[in-house]
Every structure is written in structure tokens, then in C-alpha cells.
Structure 1
């Protein structure tokens, strides 16, 4: 118990002060007149003024509260290196027992693991949450058992007591890590992209000038290069294919380094074409010719060369055929010397008129067989004797004309195969499309794929693969009606874009393909096929273990599944003849980016509260009591500050003098003063 004098004035303090002033003035007046009872008058006034202040003796019944010591134990991934986990647990057990043995002391143990989404070690977040649950007046100290590698220093709270880092790790630890300083998300195919990497040694590393680095693309056989240590090094890499390219960099593990988890880096780069080089050959001028040109020119990634026949050579006006073009058109250069520079050649209502000799068209045929792409937009001339189908190019066309031209309105429809084919799958509802007004009747070849149909189910859009190349045939010259919005129009732009990208062999538009889209540690596995079903996908994990996962059909020809990768690294997928490679998560998690134990990161938090850093390899430190504001750490010891907190259970107030006693005392003093002065 403890007692204090408290006041509960009957009047405001200003009024009490005023009354006290009047009493003092009366005492001064008595002195001035020489009254012998002035002292008694002063005592009477003092008693009355004190009575108005109503002093009381307050007695509190207090119960002491225990001091609380927070012990935050770091159990993140970096704490599993070497012997850190064992040292941490042993020190935590020892300290917990020592603190529990101290009088009036409680221990709150908090364990911290890895943060979600590779957030690293969130030590300060854990300290903040623990302090929020405890009365600040009882916290006597905070002990961090960690390697000091935290990733949330900006969340450090205001500390009510000293905090200390009991640091794991050895003073002679060292580590070699690989850093990818520059890696673009996209790169141009057939052009080298420069990646900047750096190898650094940290801690008590032995002197070394260089090491080797292995580079592997999509899990293929790696290439080895020498690279200096401690310097940025540029590596030019050419992507082998479009779509996702997974590049893995690996530095061999050095003898004595603490871990090799940060010796590997994964970079995923999308290979894209720089520009789509298109040669558009227009025959007889028609309303749809400008539509093709406008569609191609609207795409900034397209380089277009447009060859248009403005006047037929049979027109007899005395003008030589060689002078019919506005400028001398380089047909020989385009169709013989530079043809391989084009990614796509489009023939729009073109027929043989002697402008392009058969040798040029035969060269286009060879261009297709060697990997080129040709798109035919057929008009009525395709059904005539001058049709391209009756030229050397006809050998690679996906369909032959029957010489019939159907002139009636029809709505293009997607075939059953087209519902599965990536060129037409998922396009808008055909019932809302506008009609076309003319179709060329064709017979597709055995290997051709009909993905759109027209009048009475006749082939309208036919695709085929010839050798290494691809060809497509649109059996109508009425597609321009969609771009003009006739009867609501249709998805001409999207259809053309998909068609061009399919012919350019974009991986995402292949009929038979296996893809994986990574998001953190989860991948979406996509299998596209023209068949009705697919088998299970075999997944090879980074540790070499395999497992199978079954896919579900989510759309015609599209099968998907979600897979949660248990490890970080490179995964290989295989289903039949289809293969894919994907990387999940960072190659080196944040916990392993820097692994050497250090107290430097926590200095801004420890210094203001006189905290310190003690290495556990030197032994578990002693616990001492220190006064607030005094240095709280030294060699082999750390301090806590006793808080002497208490809980008030009861409060009793006793008046310093009862009212009757005040009245009796004041009256006695006043009467005494009167008697003394009256006797005089």
C-alpha cells in the first residue's frame, strides 16, 4: 500500500485564491493597526482556506505486475543454413528458462517464418504485432534471435524497452551469389538481346578472380562461359523461338560457401517478331482491295509492300506492257531475290496476266515449302482458266476451284473443326455476323483443314501445311463487307490477325501445343488440340521427381488444369509429343538473396534504445537489469529494464481533518484572537 495527499476543492481554485487573498489582506491590516491577535487571525484564515481545498489522504491498494520480455525467434528459410536452426533453438530454450526463473518476469515467445509471396523475413511486423498485444508499461526488453536479415525495417515500431539482436551465423561464413541485373520481358527474334549478370562473393570469402557460368535455354544442353567475380558482365543471347523462352543461369557451387540456393537465376523472356513483313499483290481493282491495305497499314508492326495491277495488259492503247506501272516495279527483286525477306505473301483477287511469269510463281511455291506463308483471297478469277490454281503455285494450295461461282447471300459459319482451331475458336456468335454475297466453290485437299464454311456448308476458309510453310485460302472476296459494317459486320480484323499469326507459327496459335502460364508458385497448364481428348501431363519437378496431372476440357479443343509447384525452379511438362518448360517463382527466393548474418540492418532501431548485437557463436549472453536510458548491452551480456508496473485494486480517501474539527479549530483561533485583543 502507498498513500498520497490529494485535493478535492469545494470551490474553484481561483475563488479559493481570492478568499485567501482577502484573509491575507485582513492579517496585514491587523499588523498595521498593531492588533496583538494578528497571528491567531492568520492561523484562522489559513485553516479556513485549507478547508475549502478539502485535502484528503488517499491510500491505494497496489498489486505488482510482472515484467514482460518478448523473445522473437526467426525461423525463416535463411535460418536453416548451416547450424543456425540448432543454435537458435538451443539459445531460445536457455534464455526462456533463465528469464522464467527471474522473479516477476514473464516470457512471450513469438516465432517468425517466411512471409507470403516471397516477402522475406518480417521481423519488425512480428515485433509490432506482439507489442500491440502487451501493455507497454510492462515490457522490459525485446530479444531477437535471428541472422539479422530482415525485409521490413520500415515497419519498425516505437520501442518501450531495450531491444537486442542475438545473432546466429559464424564470423567466417561466406557466400557466392548470382545476380541478373538486366533482363527484358520481351526480345526480338533473330536479334541478340543483352543480359547483364553479376557474381558477387560476400562475407569472409577467399580471393577469386573469376568463375564459370552455365547458360541453358528451355532446359537444353547448357553453354559454359568464364565470368569475372564482382563485375557486371554482358551476355548476348538470341532467342530460339517465339513465345516464352526460359533461360537458366547457373554458377557452380564453390567449396565452403554457405549455400548454393542463390547460384541459379531463371529469366523468362517472350520472343516476339520485330515487324511483320507482308507483300500484298492485288489483281483486278475491287471494293475490298483498299480494305486489305487499310487493315495491314493500321498495324504499326507491319511493313507492307503493295503491288497493284492498275491496268490489264490486254487493253490495247499502244502503251508497252513494261510501262503500265506508275513506277518501275521491282518484280524480279521481290519474287526472286528478296522473297525470303517476307513473312507473308497475300494474293488478293490475283489472276495470271503475264505480269508475273510462271518462274516467279514457282519460286513462291518453293518459298512456301521452305517455311514461308501464302494467303489467297479468291475472287471470281480464281474459278477461271487464269486462276492461280492452274499455275505452279497451285501445287501448294489447300483447295482447287470447281469453276463455279455462287452469287447469293450467306452468313459465314465456323465449322466443327473451326470451333477447336485457334484461328477461329471463340470468335463472336456467327448469328450476329453480316452476310457475304459471293463464294467460290472449291474442293479442299485431303490434308487441308476447313475452319469456316459458307453456302450449304461449302468450304470458305481452308488452311494447310505444306512442307515447312503454311497456306490459307479464303474462298470469297466479300470479307470487306464486314469492315464496312454491312448487316452488322463481323470480326474481320481479329480473324485476319489470328490468321496471320498462325501462319507466322506463333506458339499460342498452334493447333497442337502445350503451354504453361506461371503466376508465383502456380502454373496454368493449357493443352490445345484438334482431337477430342488428351492424356495426362507428366510434370518433372526441379528435384527430378515426376507426377501426372489430368486436364479438363474448358472449351472445344482446349484443356486446362492448375498446378501448385511445391518447389522453386524449372519444371518440364510432357504430353505425348508436346513438351514445355516453365520456371516457377524466383530462382533464388528473397530469403537466399543475401545470407551472411549481419547486425548492420538493425542498427537504426537498436541504437535509440541502447540495444546491442551479440553473436551466439560466442555463447548465450547473460541477462542483467539496467536502468532506463543506460547502455543495455556489453560483452557477453544484454540488459532488460525492470518496469515496476502495478495494478491498483482499491483506493481509500480519508479527509485530512473532519469538518467539525475544522470548524472548532477555526472558531477557537478567532475567539482566541478576540479575547487577546479585548484584554488589551
Structure 2
């Protein structure tokens, strides 16, 4: 490599001025008729050229090898039938053929699994950018064409891009597509999940049915089967029956094909798990205070502080047995709407609270019986009792008594006592972990109460707290589908007033109320699972029993695994576990069941499974490459000049080509002056002398336009 360079001794404007002056002098000499005008001009130009410092730059070159990028797609979709073997054979064959080419290097890039799918375009763009453009001779991708980052695909490349497509001509698949699913849903109100079932690829005639049986299950419960048409969007109605997470499992059975090798590619996309958080529209609470007292406002403040609670509060100020001589038409009190509340609209309430309520003839017996039926059918009642619990006006002596969890003894203890948690109370989520609750070896740090009624709890009831002489203070029970809570003291308001340091009044009452309304986080028997991003799961089993587990985990492939649970506190057992793969898992411990979705039930790799090079076609076309189906045979590998066609078909099959680039790097550089300084001096001097001698021998030239003879 030899090039002419300049290293001027003066600024270029001075050199240009000198050359212009030389031309001006030569022109003047020509005008004057001097015979040496040409030699004078050449002398001036030679002087200007000498000042420009011309030199020859001689570089030595070393040839560089061409580079071919081989992209090896090893994502999950490449594990479908025959694709792995096709990929192995194609990569091995290309590796041997490229190694046999002279002056050619291979760069192999492996594309694996990613949470976002197959990022083949990103890896291809990164690999192309990492190599010198002048050396890249070709890019070959062995893939099924199912990439999930098409926006990262380069618009062009300096060499042909070829795709060797895996898969079979008879491949087909049927998949479940969830088009729209709500993240939240109101309890007992209908929501809709929009979905469709679609076919891809060469569907065999046996599978071309008009409808498919869709299976629907909520939280692992009984399945519902619905016939849905193929290829049509439809809205699937669903009603949530509890608050918290509801896992909806939707799927269909793979079609049965008698012909070997003609079944669908995978059943991983035949099912989906959707988590919908069930929320209550509003919690409707009816609070009935039997008489004004110091703790009445405690309940009202608690319930009114929750924006999600609609509270209706009645206080009995003038019971029927009260005789004060005031005419009814002169009273400004509101009549108690007993018929409407306890007969007509009782089902509208999520919780009924009786606060120091006495049976004084306000409600007929059939009303109490209706409240009992309301609880057995799934309602909730909370009784905060005072001294009236031990008298003849006790609620226990009404038809409501058959659902109360304890029988009054008729005794009221008027003495200071410290509320304590029982063994069951340390396990029960209503009272477990209450601030200041102490443990078996330490007394609670909260203040004392001053009064309570004594009761005898039913055998199946749970005593969470005790008071004076270890008498039951807080009793919780389940009746039919509903729940009942009984607090045998009206002194909880002392905690709110800070008496002897106070206590967790609002937290305790809030838990009692929300447990009564079946809030999931306060269930005694619960199975919880916290999933991390790396497929690790922490199982938490909450129970009133002394032991739990082992937990039976059913994997997506049907295999089962037993996971032992370790104690982690009263009523809590935990285990850390790592799922082998994303999918839908079923958990079981005794009668408790739960469905757990770890990642998508149908990972992104299996959303589109039939091989296709459509996403890569723009780049293939822009670079002059080609797409070859490996099921038709391995293509031949050739070399062609840049700009020539890089793929085609021949008698022996398809062929693809790379373009050798003949790249080189400069290893050395030498600069030599065109002439040494003394040679330039001799040249300029010789030209000047020649011009002078030319003029001296011939004399002065005749003026232009005059005859020489005079």
C-alpha cells in the first residue's frame, strides 16, 4: 500500500501564493516574448512543490480472516419434537464446513431461556455489533423463528443473514389465549374472562372439530365443563365467593389423534391460571347498642374509621318497659325499624353486633330465630356483653341462644383482672401476636379490666382469652356456614382510654370483626404461599392443631412431592421450596387445598409453537440471505462475491453462501520524501539556468504582432 502524502514547510496559502506568482511571471514573460518563459514557470512551480514536502507513504499489510456468526437457538420451544436433533445436526455440519473454509473463523452464539422469552434478535444485534464490519462474511441462525424481541432486530447487516428453520411440515398446535382478565373482582358479583381457543399449523382432519370442552375450576374446586367454539372470542362469566386471592384454572384436553406423530406439539399452552383478587364492595355492619354506656363509642369509632364499612347504628334509649310519663308524640326519638332490619333486609348485612343488648320485648322471638338462621346460612354475629348477660334478659335465653358459643352461669365478677391469651389464643389469628400479649413465661403488658360475666363455653368453641379466675373472656365459634364471637365483658374501652397503660383495643376489635366477616388473612386453617422471582416458594401453614404436614405438592406434569413443614411459632408451620419449572401446582394438606401459579401456566415460549421465519424475513431480504427448512435437508454452504446472490436451489438441494471480505490490517508504515532537499535545489536551479541560457542564445524574441525584419 503506497500513497502520496504532503508535509508542507509553509502554510498552504503561502505555497499557493508562490505557485500563483510563478504562473504570473511565466505569463508576463510569454507576453513579453521571452523564450525562457516556460522554464521560469516550471522553476517557480518546482519551488512551490518542494515547499509542499511531497513524500511517499509505504505501508505493509497483513490479511485478516473472515468471520461467520452462528446463532444456536436453545430456548424451550426448541425442545419440541425433533427440533433438538435438527439443531444439533445443523450446528455440527456448519461447524465442520466453516472450519474447512480457508481464512475463516466461526463465532458461535447460544440463545437460552429468558423470563421474557427467546431474545434472539437482541443476541444477534449484539453479536453483529461486536465484530468488525469489514470482516463479517455471514450470519447463520439455527432456530424455529419464534423470537420475542422483534423490535431489537437490526434493519440491515454488512453480510448475508440466513435462517435454518427447525420443525416439521406436519406440526400443529392448539392453544388457549386469555385476551382479557380482571385483576380484581367484587365478591358475589359476576365478572368475565375473555378468551379464545385457536389452532396453528397443519391441523389434521380428526382435530378440526367445531367446539372444544373447556374445563373451569376455582381454587382447585370441582370442575365445570363448558363447550366453546374454536377460533372465536367469548366472555366466560365467573362469580368470586371469597375475599383475597382467587386462582382460576382454565384448560382443555389435548385432542386425541390416532395417527402416530400427528398429535399437537405441546399441551403446555392448553391451560392457564389466573389470579383474581376478590374484594368486597362495602362491608355492611349493623350495630345495636342496648343502652348508652362508656364503651358504646368505641365500637362506633372503630367501624366509622374504616372507609370500606357502611355502618348502621341504633342505640335503645327508651325500651318498652320504661315508664317516664312522656307522651310518644312528644318524643324526638327514631322508632327502631325491627321489621325492616331483622326480617326484610337482614341478608344485606355482613355482620350484626349486639353491644350490651338486653331482651326487653323490642324484638319478637321469631326475629331472634331469623337472626339465628341468618348466621347458619353464612352470616356473622358478635356479642359484646355486660352484666345483662347474666340476668333474665340475657340473649342466651332468647331463640338466639342456640347459636351462642357459651352458656351464662348467672354470675358477674366485679374485680380487676388482666386479660390473658390461652394456648388456643396464641394460635388463633384473631389474637395471635397482639402487641403486649406476652407468652407462657411472661404476663401481658397491657392494662386490667374491671368486670366480666362468667360463662361455660360449648365443647366445640375456641376460648382465645381468659379473664378473672381464668374464666372465658373471648369465645369464637362457627355455626353452620356462619360465625359467632362472644366477648363476656364491656370493659374493652378501658384500653382505649389508657387505663393502666391501655392495650391494643382497636386492633383486637378489628380482628374480631373481620374474622367474623371471613377475611382470608384471619382464617384459622390456611395455607399460604409466597413466590419469589427465582421460583423459590415459602409455604406457611396456619392451623389450630399441634402439627401440620407434610405438604403434598402436585407438579404440572402430574408428579407429586411431599414437603415437610417445620414449626415457626404457635399455630404456624413453614417450609422453603424451589419449583423445578414455571407452571400450575396443586397443594394439599389434609382437607385443605390450594392452587398455586408459579410464573405463567403456559410460558411465553409455548404461546406460539409452530416454526416460522416470518419475524426474520425483513432482515433476510435486506441482506440478500435466505430461509431454509431443515426438514427438507441440510443446505450446501458456498462462498460468493459481495453483492452476488447468497442463496438458491440447485439439483442437489438448497444452498446458502457467505461473502469473503478480503480484509487486512496495516502492520507497518514508512514515509520517504519524493526527492531529497539537495535534489529539489538542483532541479529548481537547473530550470532557472536552462531558462537563462535559452534566452541568452536566442536573443530577445520578436514582439508579438511585428515582423522580425523590422
TM-score, reference length from structure 1: 0.90
2:675 is equivalent to residue 642 of structure 1: no
- Which whole-Å CA distance do the structure 2 matches of 1:23 and 1:459 have between them? 124
State whether residues 568 and 585 of structure 1, in contact with CA within 8 Å, keep that contact through their aligned partners in structure 2: yes
2:528 is equivalent to residue 530 of structure 1: no
Q: What is the aligned length?
A: 676
Alpha-carbon deviation of 1:200?
0.9
- Which whole-Å CA distance do the structure 1 matches of 2:144 and 2:127 have between them? 20
Choose the corresponding residue for 1:571, options 582, 585, 592: 585
- Which whole-Å CA distance do the structure 1 matches of 2:295 and 2:618 have between them? 72
Give the 3-state SS of the residue equivalent to 1:426 in structure 2. coil
**1:368–1:218 distance in 2 versus 1, CA, 3 Å:** closer
Q: Could you list the per-position Cα deviations for residues 118-148 of structure 1 after superposition, in whole angstroms to 9, with x for gaps in the alignment?
A: x111101211332344323211111111111
2:15 is equivalent to residue 33 of structure 1: no
2:679 is equivalent to residue 671 of structure 1: no
State whether residues 380 and 405 of structure 1, in contact with CA within 8 Å, keep that contact through their aligned partners in structure 2: no
Q: Could you list the per-position Cα deviations for residues 506-545 of structure 1 after superposition, in whole angstroms to 9, with x for gaps in the alignment?
A: 3432222223344563433110123444332222222232
2:56 is equivalent to residue 42 of structure 1: no
State whether residues 609 and 629 of structure 1, in contact with CA within 8 Å, keep that contact through their aligned partners in structure 2: no
Alpha-carbon deviation of 1:490?
5.1
- Superposition CA RMSD, Å: 3.1
Give the 3-state SS of the residue equivalent to 2:568 in structure 1. strand
Q: Residue in 2 aligned with 1:231?
A: 232
Q: Residue in 2 aligned with 1:196?
A: 194
State whether residues 523 and 563 of structure 1, in contact with CA within 8 Å, keep that contact through their aligned partners in structure 2: yes
**1:483–1:624 distance in 2 versus 1, CA, 3 Å:** farther
Deviates more, 1:584-593 or 1:437-446: 437-446
Deviates more, 1:67-76 or 1:157-166: 157-166
Q: Residue in 2 aligned with 1:181?
A: 179
Unaligned stretches of 5+ residues in structure 2: 439-443, 700-710
State whether residues 401 and 440 of structure 1, in contact with CA within 8 Å, keep that contact through their aligned partners in structure 2: no
- Which whole-Å CA distance do the structure 1 matches of 2:4 and 2:501 have between them? 93
- Which whole-Å CA distance do the structure 1 matches of 2:469 and 2:10 have between them? 107
Q: Residue in 1 aligned with 2:707?
A: none
1:654-665 to structure 2, matched below 5 A, reads 654-665=672-683
State whether residues 377 and 474 of structure 1, in contact with CA within 8 Å, keep that contact through their aligned partners in structure 2: yes
Q: Residue in 2 aligned with 1:372?
A: 379
Deviates more, 1:221-230 or 1:585-594: 221-230
Q: Could you list the per-position Cα deviations for residues 5-57 of structure 1 after superposition, in whole angstroms to 9, with x for gaps in the alignment?
A: 22222223223222222222222222233222222222222222222222222
Give the 3-state SS of the residue equivalent to 1:5 in structure 2. strand
2:627 is equivalent to residue 613 of structure 1: yes
Q: Could you list the per-position Cα deviations for residues 442-469 of structure 1 after superposition, in whole angstroms to 9, with x for gaps in the alignment?
A: 3451544333455676544332334543
1:17-32 to structure 2, matched below 5 A, reads 17-32=16-31
2:393 is equivalent to residue 403 of structure 1: no
Q: Residue in 2 aligned with 1:150?
A: 147
Q: Residue in 2 aligned with 1:253?
A: 254
State whether residues 283 and 308 of structure 2, in contact with CA within 8 Å, keep that contact through their aligned partners in structure 1: yes
Q: Residue in 2 aligned with 1:163?
A: 161
2:132 is equivalent to residue 99 of structure 1: no
**1:609–1:51 distance in 2 versus 1, CA, 3 Å:** same
**1:478–1:568 distance in 2 versus 1, CA, 3 Å:** same
- Which whole-Å CA distance do the structure 2 matches of 1:24 and 1:412 have between them? 118
1:73-84 to structure 2, matched below 5 A, reads 73-84=72-83
Alpha-carbon deviation of 1:82?
2.5
- Which whole-Å CA distance do the structure 2 matches of 1:323 and 1:164 have between them? 97
Q: Residue in 1 aligned with 2:55?
A: 56
1:574-589 to structure 2, matched below 5 A, reads 574-589=588-603
- Which whole-Å CA distance do the structure 1 matches of 2:508 and 2:381 have between them? 16
**1:159–1:415 distance in 2 versus 1, CA, 3 Å:** farther
State whether residues 436 and 503 of structure 2, in contact with CA within 8 Å, keep that contact through their aligned partners in structure 1: no
Q: Residue in 1 aligned with 2:708?
A: none
Unaligned stretches of 5+ residues in structure 1: none
